[in-house]
Each structure stands twice: as structure tokens, then as C-alpha cells.
Amino acid sequence: MTRLFTPLTLRDVTVRNRLWVSPMCQYSAVDGVPQEWHHTHLAQFASGGAGLVVAEATAVSPEGRISPEDTGLWNDEQGDAWAPIVAAIRSRGAVAGVQLAHAGRKASTWSPFSGRRGSVAATDGGWSTVAPSAIAFDGYAEPVALDVAGIDRVVVDFASAARRAVAAGFQVLELHAAHGYLLHQFLSPLSNRRDDEYGGSLENRARLLLRALEAVTDAAPGVPVIVRFSATDWADGGWDADETATVARWAADRGADFFDISSGGLVAHQKLTTGPGYQVALAARVRREAGVPVNAVGMIDDAAHAERVLAEDAADAVMAGREWLRDPHYGLRAADELGAEIDYWPKQYLRARR
């Protein structure tokens, strides 16, 4: 058996393999409600052999959406619409996860299909954004610094969204603390200039994430929780891999089960060079320094590369994004390429198996 096709268990949930679908915004929801597109989009990866399918950044409150077309879990209509989508993923043998998110100062932006960039004005259906400090992301509208009551509300919103996610059938929850969104904005000294108990020291900057995590684990007892971090801001004076490892350890001690290691997104002046596996070393470092299980992600585009990442003990699983978009049956192809015997090739498609 290959490493990639060895199951992995998170609490009571066994994932059939370690080739997972990374969360990917589709900018195709209506009032936060997922549509037929989301159903077909996510179900196809489960048919295609994915282990865990993580649904896109799904806002815990309306003001937490990246764009007006983001999915949400802040009301029951959204929860009800997710349920058949989750059932489709699960009936195809994959584990269904969802990324719970709040975009903070990077909310209320135009979707990539709009042909426009930057913040959506109120007159165009946008809203005023919130953040740890009133510091804008380059080119976006200035956010309002959250007061403590506002922070408390964010925590409650994460818990309510977690409850709705579980009611819809999601088996794994991922907290989005990466890519410059609200939880990451609190972690990074470049976006967090607060002088209260949510800013300054690492402990203070991590407080919102850890509170949200605890609220989510209380709201969804026993449900595995993944935290996605950007392990560096790729910018001077920013959040880095050592801080990521420390906070990952704290999060693990408070009930997080797994860590999804990405990078960047906090500031426009980030300096990074992408290439095959460009974030693998960050994942390996967090895994080693924090002693926690992680997945690597980022331009790991073929089965042999994914297998190598696991064989080198750099990570415990691999997520891919764009490769699944290029080939929704990537999982079946990967098993074939590695010579892994899997029993979840869809019977309807068996005549195509080589």
C-alpha cells in the first residue's frame, strides 16, 4: 500500500486516503446559500476518489464574506441547502468538511468574475468591514477596529456556524486562520496593533483564534477540527513559522486535531516565489516543532510528488486545489499511477479502469 492511499483517522472519522481537496471559493452563492453548482462541484471530487473534501471558505456572518457571492452558515436556510451537498459527498465515500471563515478587512471585495477589483461599495451591495485595527489591506477600504463586544460576537458566530455545519452533516470543521483573513489578521503584528488583551504579545494575538477554537469544539463536541494557518506572511516583521508552531501547539492542547499549512495573503507587499511544493518545508517545520499532524498544500500536482511528501515525513496528508479542478477524478488517477488497490472506484465507471 502507498502512504497516500493509507487511511487516516481523525477522532472517530476515518478518511479513506490522504489525498484531500483544499477549500476553494466558487463565488457562486446567493445570499450565502450554496447552489446546484456547489453540489456538482463538490460531489465530483468524492466520486473522483478524494479522501476529505473541504468545502470553500464559508462565512460565519454576512460581514465575514470575502465577496457577496460567498457561501455562509449564519442562517438555517444556508444550513438546509448544505445538507444535500454534504450527503452527496458522503454517499460517494469521502469525508465532508467545511472551512469556517471570517474575512475581516479582506471582506466585501469583488469576486474574480466581476472584472472589478478592490472593495465593493455599499451602493453596490458591499458593507463596512471589521479588523483588529483600523489598517486597510492595500487597495481596500479601511476597516473598523473591533471592540471587545464585537470580538465576542465573532466567537459566538463561529460557534453557531459550527453547530449548523454539524447539523448539515459535515464531519470535519476547518477554521480559516490563513491567507490574511480575520483570525490571521489578529495573529500577525502587521495587521494587529491593538494594545488590549487581543494585541501585543503572541498570547494576546492568538487569543481570538483560541477562543474561536474552544467555542467551536464546545458547539461541536467530538467533531475533528483542522486549523489552516499561513505559516509566514513572507514580509519583514510579520507572522512567521516559529509563531505558527507555538500557536499550533497551543491549539492542539485546546482540542485542534490537525493543521493545514499554507502561507501568505496578509499583505500585498509579500515576497514569495512559488513553485512545486513551495510550502512543504513550512508544513514539515510546524509538524516537527509543534509535534502535531499536518497536511502540506500548494503546487503538489501529481501523485508521485504527493507520495514523496508523505514518505519524507514532511506531512501526514496532502491537499490539492487546482489539480482537482483540472481533473475531478485525480484521486482515481493517482491510485492508478501509484498502483494502489482501492475499492472505491465508482462501479458505474469500472469499465474505464485500466
- Least Å from the CB of residue 209 to ligand FMN: 15
Q: Which of 35, 30, 31, 75 is nearest to 55 (CA)?
A: 35
Q: Is 277 in the site for ligand FMN (CB under 6 A)?
A: no
| 83-91, 116-124, 138-146, 292-300 -> range binding ligand FMN (CB under 6 A) | 292-300
User: Which of 47, 108, 171, 262 touches ligand FMN (CB under 6 A)?
Assistant: 262
Q: Is 298 in the site for ligand FMN (CB under 6 A)?
A: yes
User: Which of 99, 171, 191, 295 touches ligand FMN (CB under 6 A)?
Assistant: 99
User: Which of 261, 297, 309, 335 touches ligand FMN (CB under 6 A)?
Assistant: 297
Say what angle helices 207-219 and 241-253 make with each other, to 10 degrees.
30
Give the burial class of 298: count Cβ atoms within 10 A of its Cβ; 0-12 exposed, 13-18 middle, 19 or more buried.
buried
Instruction: Identify the DSSP state of 136.
Output: P
CA max distance for the chain: 64
Supply angle C-alpha 142, 147, 148, rounded to 5: 150
Q: Is 183 in the site for ligand FMN (CB under 6 A)?
A: no
Q: How far apart are CA 54 and CA 44, in angstroms?
A: 13
Q: Is 69 in the site for ligand FMN (CB under 6 A)?
A: no
| 85-93, 235-243, 315-323, 339-347 -> range binding ligand FMN (CB under 6 A) | 315-323
Q: Is 323 in the site for ligand FMN (CB under 6 A)?
A: yes
In the numeric block, which cell numbers belong to residue 301? 500536482
User: Which of 3, 16, 105, 228 touches ligand FMN (CB under 6 A)?
Assistant: 228
> Which of 181, 198, 330, 344 is labelled catalytic?
181
Number of residues in contact with ligand FMN under rule CB under 6 A:
19
- Least Å from the CB of residue 229 to ligand FMN: 10
Residues in the chain: 354
Tell me the CA distances in angstroms from 224 to 1, 3, 94, 301, one per residue in order.
25, 21, 15, 26
Q: Alpha-carbon dihedral of residues 22, 293, 277, 1, nearest 10 degrees?
A: -90
User: Which of 4, 178, 223, 231 touches ligand FMN (CB under 6 A)?
Assistant: 178
For ligand FMN, the closer of residues 56 and 157 by Cβ is 56
Q: Is 22 in the site for ligand FMN (CB under 6 A)?
A: yes
- Least Å from the CB of residue 327 to ligand FMN: 12
Tell me the CA distances in angstroms from 65 to 9, 33, 59, one per residue in order.
31, 12, 5
Active site (annotated) includes residue 181: yes
Q: Which of 28, 110, 39 is nearest to 72 (CA)?
A: 28
Backbone angles phi, psi at 118, to 5 degrees: 85, -160
- Least Å from the CB of residue 197 to ligand FMN: 27
Q: Which of 110, 265, 292, 111 is nearest to 184 (CA)?
A: 265
Interaction pattern, residues 197-216, with ligand FMN; x per rule: CB under 6 A: --------------------
| Residues within window 102-161 making contact with ligand FMN, judged by CB under 6 A | none
By beta carbon distance, the residue nearest ligand FMN is: 321
Site residues for ligand FMN per CB under 6 A: 22-25, 56-57, 99, 176, 178-179, 228, 262, 297-299, 320-323
Active-site residues: which are they? Answer: 181
